[in-house]
A and B are shown apart, each in its own frame.
Chain A
Amino acid sequence: MSEIIKKNLSEIIDLIKKKEIKSEELANLYIDKVNKSKKLNSYITTCFEHTIQKSKEFDKKPNLNSLLPGVPLAVKDLFCTNGFKTTAGSKMLENFIPQYESTVTENLWKEGAILLGKLNCDEYAMGSSNETSYFGNVINPIAKDTVPGGSSGGSASALAADLTPATIGTDTGGSIRQPASFTGTVGLKPTYGLCSRWGIVAFASSLDQAGPMTKSVKDCSIMLEAMAGFDNKDSTSIEKKKENYSKNLKTDIKGLKIGIPKEYRVENMPKEIDELWNKGKSILKDLGADIIDISLPHTKYALPTYYIVAPAEASSNLARYDGVKYGYRSSKGNDLIEMYENTRSEAFGDEVKRRILIGTYVLSSGYYDAYYLKAQKVRQLIKKDFDENFGKVDAILTPSTPSSAFKIGEKTHDPISMYLNDIFTVPVNLAGLPAISVPAGLDKKGYPLGLQLIGKTLDEQNILNVAYAFEKNCNFKNEIKNWWL
């Protein structure tokens, strides 16, 4: 029976639909393994009583026409869940229980999914290794001394370790795609505005986007279909009709033009990644796609641009955590200012403080033009690079990350090298485009590596199709040995 939870989401849905397994049985299988997998530290909160109750309700009156019938799912702890702690990985919100449900999770529950728990993440989604979480770092199930990536590290770890059949994360600069690449899973960052941001703890509003993390491309299409949709509570939500990504999924990519940007061949990139990229090209070529060399000349400015725009927005978005209304409040201090200072000093971690400081600095009068304004201009140039090339190509293929999963503690004292991990993922957020990371192979340590497919605005179906075709011909197999059990 425990073989069932190793299956992909789509297979599990089939079992439920065929009534070969009940929702409650399935929930118990996950609960059992989650209980035995505390070493990974991928869950911050579990809500098993709720899960069982809901799965029983489902089994009594199963609606098998929904997209996620009776499927237990854990979600990143950045999504507000009504009645269940939502911490954002921070001491600030350690005991915060929202009285509202994020639009994206609400969409999942409407499609029949059931909350299993809340998954660890970097504090306020700021990090690339899930080491900034107040609730401790998360371990990558591929090897006990490696990070799962971040910020959706708990989501990637839980998914790879079969502690949830699929999950959702948020991606501000690579927080879905990088952990997916590190754990041999699939992660998609949708077009900015496709999934509502309402009820998601904000990091950088103009970059944040929720997306699915799954074991297969087909699962990814199902999850995206369930979570996406216009929301009038989010002013940046795109008004368009729902799409049937899973139904329209196809492997025929003949004649599609795939761009290969030369700027993504960075210095000191491991040879294996270059080889993998070449492997990707040849697989797509064999499937009938045209491989075209392109140039995205402003790519090198993406990372510095990102590390101005994102902290600037974060410094303002996190101002609301002041100890006045909810969340942590320091007991020390004699007046309002001291209360603020103590509260924020005690409850924010170093990385969050670092970004608030950077963001405050770049928005300060006298520096605004040189940093924030200039960064916004460069952002337009980066977007223009993509726009111009999307006249010539249908999708762009790049590596997802410049390395495979690194060691726990390896980069925690060197923020810059940590930030460099986002070098291939960040341009996509700046341009608001969709991109998917698909597992493509293993390095010589046996750690997974992913390739990234970048699509045009709202062209999720196309990159899903390319990824689907690639996946079918790549023969990637994740080798996770359940060493922690």
Chain B
Amino acid sequence: MNKDKFDYFIKGEKNKYEVIIGLEVHAQVSSNSKLFSGSATKFGAEPNSQVSLIDSAFPGMLPVINKECINQAIRTGLGLNAKINNNSVFDRKNYFYADLPQGYQISQYKNPIVGEGKVLLDMPYGSKEIGIERLHLEQDAGKSIHDMDPSSTYVDLNRSGIALMEIVSKPDLRSPEEVNAYIKKLRTIMRYLGTCDGNMQEGSLRADVNVSVRRVGDKNFGTRCEIKNVNSIKFMQMAIEYEANRQVELLDEGKKIEQETRLFDTKKNETRSMRSKEDAHDYRYFPDPDLLPLKIEQKLIDDLKKTLPELPDNKKERFMSDYGLNSYEANVLVSEKEISNYYEEVAKLSDKKLAATWMMGDLFAMLNDKGLNISKSPISPKNFAELIQSINSGEISGRIAKEVFELMVESGDNPKKIIESKGMKQQSDPKELEKIINEILTKNKDKVDQYKSGKEKLFGFFVGQVMKQSGGKANPQITNDILKKLLKG
């Protein structure tokens, strides 16, 4: 599937179209308490068990900013190479809904905490920069539960007031693939920073997707539709695919696109209209008078900058230059902080390149098979490094190594111990091997003659015999060398 040229266009009846996509990603801030109250934020708690008087908007309750959420937003902004605004403002976004206790959401409208930034994507056709328009902080709403009772709606306010970062991209994305890469990259960056766990199943990461199309070559953007609240990358991609095709069909029929908000129906795999531009809410934004403008001292930004971990882009470059990995390998190994940490531990103690190959091959396959996170790997980095070393030094063959690997998974044991106790060491002593080979050649004189008269395919037969004789432990390279030498003579 390695395409080295971008080719996501939609062919209509008449024209060929390019798809323009912008994302508003809502990322839940990792913090112990909510944006403006001391309530806990644990996922999956008993309904309404993490709700304070502030979250439920009792009379006279006032919001007080949680400084850790501010720090997390700054860290994220720095991770997105963005400008941190020393002055920003919290506004009220006014609308009525049963799971919005205040009757307004505290958000940031004209003056967000983080300004323009950028994210780098590695696409098969090269690297691509996606612009970030802004990042702002806002409160999450509660949850309305409509299916618990035929006539009533239940409301769970556990989520009410939890801090979200809304990360708005520029309309720089051009395909579902790029959306996939973009979301994954954002997620990786935030997980490196520890500012969002990126758990899409728990709703920690959701997005509103803006889609428009234009004829290839056109300079102006088409009218966009916003698909609200899509909570998986797969659904985002499906929704974009559907929506772009819908728009292309309309345009080719000579019809106009109405600017509107749409919903993605995951069962029918289609988007449908939720409200038109005319019905759009008037949110009556205004600065929240309960909160003073947010002033961030440059010193705080500088201090946070100093404590940032190495981010994936830098780490990738370092992996390539320090460990001699290629771009693809480096990408995979920096995709999760835990993976990169594991790799670095292994690489420090063994052959860097071989370690990468084995990690991305057998180790990942095993983890995937078992549904395990690398932090739960039955093989410790140290043991894994020893295994790589054993292969690299020729102590065991690649084939034997696979057996050792299996035993390590089962027992969690040190590979040296396994090799020792099972006698799996590779036979690399040329004298020993020569002895075995001579025996085999003597036994199979007829075949030696055939070989010499031109039937060179028989070489494999001799190797197989050596392996059989040695219980698979003969060093293949040395075996080959000796065989060649003796068969010539």
Residues of chain A touching chain B, judged by Cβ–Cβ distance below 8 Å, are 80, 86, 88, 93, 96, 98-100, 102, 197-202, 204-206, 232-236, 312-313, 315-316, 318-320, 322, 324-326, 336-337, 340, 360, 363-365, 368, 372
Which of A198, A235, A325, A337 is close to B60, meaning CB atoms less than 8 Å apart? A198
User: How many chain B residues have a CB neighbour from A under 8 Å?
Assistant: 30
Across the interface, do B56 and A235 meet the contact criterion of CB distance under 8 Å?
Answer: no
Asked whether any CB of chain A lies closer than 8 Å to the CB of B203, the reply is no
Contact A235–B291 (Cβ < 8 Å):
yes
| Contact of B155 with A205 in the complex, beta carbons under 8 Å | no
- Choose among A99, A318, A319 the residue with the greatest number of B CB atoms under 10 Å from its CB: A319
Contact A340 B96 (CB under 8 A): yes
Residue of B nearest to A200 (CB): B60
The A interface, classified by DSSP as helix, strand, loop or mixed, is loop
Which residues from chain B contact A316 at a C-beta distance below 8 Å?
92, 94, 103-104, 284, 286
Name the contact of A233 in the complex, choosing from B64, B92, B96, B155 (C-beta under 8 A).
Answer: B64
Chain B nearest CB from A124 CB (Å) reads 10
Closest to A318 in B: B103
B12 CB–A CB distance under 8 Å = no
Contact with A along B78-116 (1 / 0, CB 8 A): 000000000000001010111001111000000000000
**Known contacts A198-B60, A235-B64, A235-B292; is A364 also within 8 Å of B282 by CB?**
yes
Give chain B nearest CB distance to A328 CB in angstroms. Answer: 13
Q: How far is the CB of B143 from chain A (nearest CB, A)?
A: 14
Q: Does B57 contact A (CB under 8 A)?
A: yes
The reply to whether A204 and B289 contact each other, CB–CB distance below 8 Å, is yes
Closest-by-CB residue of A relative to B103 is A319
**Within the complex, what minimum Cβ distance (angstroms) separates A272 from chain B?**
38
Interface status of B482 (Cβ within 8 A of chain A):
no
Complex contact B96–A98 (CB within 8 A): no
A-B pairs with beta carbons under 8 Å apart, 12 shown = A99-B53, A197-B60, A201-B60, A202-B59, A232-B64, A234-B62, A319-B94, A363-B94, A363-B285, A365-B282, A368-B285, A372-B286
With a cutoff of 8 Å between Cβ atoms, the chain A residues found around residue B58 in the complex are 98, 100, 325-326
On chain A, the residues within 8 Å of B285 by CB distance are 363, 368
Residues on B with beta carbons closer than 8 Å to the beta carbon of A235: 62-65, 290-292
Closest chain B residue to A99 by CB distance? B53
Question: For A360, A363, A372, which residue has the most chain B Cβ atoms within 10 angstroms?
Answer: A363
- Nearest A residue to B281 via CB reads A365
Q: How far is the CB of A324 from chain B (nearest CB, A)?
A: 5
**A234 — which chain B residues lie within 8 A by C-beta?**
62, 64
A205 contacts B289, CB within 8 Å?
yes
Task: Give chain B interface residues in 319-374, CB to chain A under 8 Å.
Answer: none
CA distance A312 to B57 in the complex (A): 18
Q: Smallest Cβ distance from B471 to chain A, in angstroms?
A: 74
Question: What chain B residues lie within 8 Å of A233 (beta carbons)?
Answer: 62, 64
Counting chain A CB atoms within 10 Å of each CB, which of B53, B58, B65, B153 scores highest? Answer: B58
A324 touches B60 (CB 8 A): no
Q: Verify A201–B59 contact, CB threshold 8 A.
A: yes
A102 contacts across to B, CB distance below 8 A: 60
A232 to B284 alpha-carbon distance, docked (Å): 28
Q: What's the Cα separation between A364 and B282 when bound, in Å?
A: 7
Q: What is the bound-complex CA distance between A316 and B96, given in angstroms? A: 10
Residue among B63, B65, B289 with max Cβ neighbours from chain A (10 Å): B289
Task: Find residues 263-294 in chain B having any chain A CB closer than 8 Å to their own CB.
Answer: 282, 284-286, 289-292
Give chain A residues whose Cβ lies under 8 Å from the Cβ of B59: 80, 86, 88, 93, 96, 98, 201-202, 320
If A98-B60, A198-B62 are given as contacts, then 12 extra A-B residue pairs at C-beta distance below 8 Å, sorted by A number, are A80-B59, A86-B59, A88-B59, A98-B58, A102-B60, A201-B60, A234-B64, A235-B290, A319-B102, A320-B59, A363-B285, A365-B284
